[in-house]
Structure formats: C-alpha cells, structure tokens
C-alpha cells in the first residue's frame, strides 16, 4: 500500500460510527526519576515528577477511534466511584457517547497504576473485580447497547476478562449486529474466544493464540511461538476454523502480523521498521484502525495494513497513547 492509498482510506474514517463494548479501565501513571535505594528496604525510590490519568482497556480503544475521526458510542460498566466518574468525564470531553456506560456498586472501576522511571516501568498496581456481571446489570448493558446499534457502522468488542462480556451478552449483540449487516470485530482472550463465532475479525497476540489453541485441544506445543513458518501457519488455519470466525488476526510483535482467512488462505504482513519504546496499547490501536477501515469499505488486506501501521505508530511512544491518521499514513512509502 502506498501513502496516497492509505490516506484515501484514512480520509473515509471521518464520521464512521462505532459501538465499543467491553471492559472500561482507567490507566494512571506516576512518572519520575530514580537515583537512590530506600534505606528502609532494598527497593528503588522514585522522585515523582508528574502524574497522568488516561482511558484504558475498552476506553483506550474508544479514544483511539475518536482520534481517527470516528463517532464513538461506549457501552460498559464502571464502579460507582470517583475513578469511574473521572473516566466518564474524560470520555465525554473527548466526544464519546457515554449513555450506555453503567455505574454499579458491586465492583470498583478497573484501574491500573503504573510507576515509571524515565521510560522504564517499575511496577503496576491493579484494582479490579473480575466476577461476571449480575444478571440485572448485564441485561441493562445489552438493552442500552442494542439501542445504540441503530446508528452504528461497526461493533468492536474490547475483551479483557473483567466480567463485562459474557457469552450471552456477546451473542445477543453479535446477532443484532449481523442482522444489520455491520462490521463486527473483537480482541478476545483465550477463555472467551468461542463467544465470538461468526464475527469479521478476531485478534490475538501469539501468546493468546497459543493459549486458545491449547484450550481447544488443537495439536502442537505452543505452535504460534514456533520459528517454523509451516507450523505457525497450520496452527492459525486450524484455530480460525475452530473458532468459526471469518478472519483470525495474530500479531507477532517485531515480525508483524498474520491474518488467516476462510478457505485455508493467510496473509503475512511484516512490521514497520520503527523504534519501539512501549508496546502498551498497540493491540488496541491495531484493532481500532482495522475496524474503521472495514467500516469504510476497505478490503480485509488493506484494513489489516492500516491496523498494522496504527500499532506501529503507537509503539514509538511511551504509555497508553493513540495514533493519528497522519502518523499512520507516514509509515507508508
């Protein structure tokens, strides 16, 4: 793909309407410098310089879509707490429709606090509850999300196994989306992979793909981590068929990504040559750009190319960040 071709597809992102359903998170960063060891214990002492608070998880996917020019509707669950209110406020200021974000007393808002010295992450603290949603809350979520589907071009499920996306929730919204003929994508986890049968694209990294293959008793020992191309491609072909998705995307870090299509066909795509500072959020950026490209009428191959470039643009930065259309286009010749 040339830069001109990329820019033409990227220009069509403006105003596309995407419903993001999934696990909303808050990402807090404490930034500073380390120059000494604590006299109290053999641990580093961080001299804090600044703090930052950004949308994470499904909220980061929404932020990436907004950056790319989409109209975004968000459906998910937060705690009835100050972190959740702050996250809703952030999303609202960014321009997201948050009418399907439900606050509940049964769990806190998922929050990940990262302590970073320079560009090196020292430790992460997670505050979360991963139990499935109560039936009443799940029903409210489906009803609220279904109402928003009337004005959508795509559904993107952002699944981090925090209890929001049950099999019933995913199937209800998938069937509703398929009836409308809209694009449906997801980044599942191994434990929920089978929920997404029939969708347009399911995205995993190599480790997740191996764990999913193991869960479905497919042959081979960590075949997606194999250096042997035939082993890798055979595993992907089998896994796509087992999950019954139209396209299975497996990201491969510095080696790029591979998409397995229906009919035992696959497409390998090399990574863009960029300096990598932080891989956080790269998968979110990939699936966001890919989804918008498909919703804009791009072919699967072109959509994957733009998703690949979007992930490449994000890893050049530190923290949970987004990529602009200009940054994505700049990676093409």
Report residue 175 as tokens: 């069937």
240 φ/ψ angles, rounded to the nearest 5 degrees = -60, -45
Report residue 308 as tokens: 């690949």
Chain Cα centroid distance, residue 108: 21
Q: Would you call 284 a catalytic residue per the annotation?
A: yes
Listed in sequence order, the residues at least 6 apart from 297 whose beta carbon sits closer than 8 Å to its beta carbon are 12
120 in any annotated domain: no
Query: DSSP characters for 77-146?
Result: EEESSHHHHHHHHHHHHHT-EEEEEEEESSSPPEEEEEEEETTEEEEEEEE---SPPPHHHHHHHHHHHH
pLDDT at 181: 96
pLDDT at 263: 86
113 in any annotated domain: no
Q: Is the pLDDT of residue 320 over 70?
A: no
| Parent domain of 233 | 3-24+56-104+131-328
Nearest to 152 by CA among 176, 132, 120: 176
Q: What CATH code is carried by the domain that includes residue 267?
A: 3.40.1190.20
Determine the 3-state secondary structure of 44 from DSSP.
strand
Residue 308 · residue 289 · CB < 8 Å: no
Q: Is the pLDDT of residue 193 over 60?
A: yes
31 in any annotated domain: no
CA-to-CA dists, residue 154 to 25, 29, 221, 231, 233, angstroms: 21, 31, 35, 33, 28
CA torsion through residues 39, 40, 41, 46, sign: negative
220 in any annotated domain: yes
Q: Which residue has the tokens 């604590």?
A: 38
pLDDT at 311: 86
147 in any annotated domain: yes
Nearest to 185 by CA among 295, 321, 23: 295
Q: Is the pLDDT of residue 57 over 70?
A: yes
Rounded mean pLDDT, 66-74: 97
What pTM was computed for the model? 0.93
Total structural domains within the chain: 1
pLDDT at 272: 82
pLDDT 10s digits, 159-191: 999 999 999 999 999 999 999 999 999 999 999
17 in any annotated domain: yes
- At 67, the pLDDT band (50, 70, 90 cuts) reads very high
Find the farthest-apart pair of alpha carbons in the chain and give their distance in angstroms, rounded.
64
Determine the 3-state secondary structure of 305 from DSSP.
helix
Spatial distance between the Cα atoms of 35 and 21, rounded to a whole number of angstroms: 42
189 in any annotated domain: yes
Q: Which of 27, 159, 284, 302 is catalytic?
A: 284
Q: Which residue has the tokens 């560009």?
A: 119
Vertex 164: Cα angle to 132 and 179 (nearest 5): 125
> Kind of pairing, strands 97-104 and 71-79?
parallel
pLDDT at 282: 80
Residue 30 · residue 46 · CB < 8 Å: yes
50 in any annotated domain: no
Rounded mean pLDDT, 128-147: 97
Q: What is the radius of gyration, based on Cα positions, of the chain?
A: 20
Nearest to 243 by CA among 200, 285, 276: 200
Chain Cα centroid distance, residue 67: 14
């Amino acid at each position: 793909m040339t830069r001109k071709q990329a820019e033409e597809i990227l220009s069509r992102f403006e105003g596309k309407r995407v419903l993001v359903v999934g696990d909303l998170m808050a990402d807090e960063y404490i930034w500073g410098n380390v120059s000494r060891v604590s006299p109290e214990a053999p641990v580093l002492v961080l001299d804090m310089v600044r703090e930052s608070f950004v949308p994470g998880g499904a909220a980061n996917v929404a932020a990436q879509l907004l950056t790319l020019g989409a109209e975004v509707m968000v459906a998910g669950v937060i705690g009835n707490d100050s972190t959740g209110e702050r996250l809703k406020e952030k999303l609202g200021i960014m321009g997201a429709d948050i009418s399907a974000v439900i606050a509940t007393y049964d769990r806190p808002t998922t929050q990940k606090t990262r302590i970073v010295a320079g560009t090196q992450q020292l430790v992460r603290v997670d505050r979360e509850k991963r139990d499935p949603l109560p039936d009443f809350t799940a029903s409210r979520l489906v009803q609220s999300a279904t109402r928003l589907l009337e004005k959508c071009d795509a559904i993107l499920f952002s699944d981090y196994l925090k209890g929001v996306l049950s099999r019933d929730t995913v199937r209800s919204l998938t069937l509703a989306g398929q009836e409308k003929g809209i694009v449906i994508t997801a980044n599942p986890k191994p434990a929920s992979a089978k929920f997404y049968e029939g969708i347009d694209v399911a995205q995993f990294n190599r480790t997740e793909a191996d764990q999913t293959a193991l869960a479905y008793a497919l042959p081979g020992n960590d075949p997606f981590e194999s250096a042997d191309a035939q082993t890798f491609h055979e595993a992907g072909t089998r896994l796509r068929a087992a999950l019954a998705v139209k396209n299975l995307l497996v990201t491969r870090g510095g080696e790029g990504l591979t998409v397995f299509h229906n009919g035992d066909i696959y497409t390998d795509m090399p990574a863009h040559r960029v300096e990598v500072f932080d891989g956080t959020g790269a998968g979110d950026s990939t699936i966001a750009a890919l989804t918008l490209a498909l919703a804009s009428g791009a072919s699967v191959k072109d959509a994957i190319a733009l998703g690949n470039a979007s992930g490449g643009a994000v890893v050049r930065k530190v923290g949970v960040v987004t990529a602009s259309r200009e940054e994505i286009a700049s990676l093409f010749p």
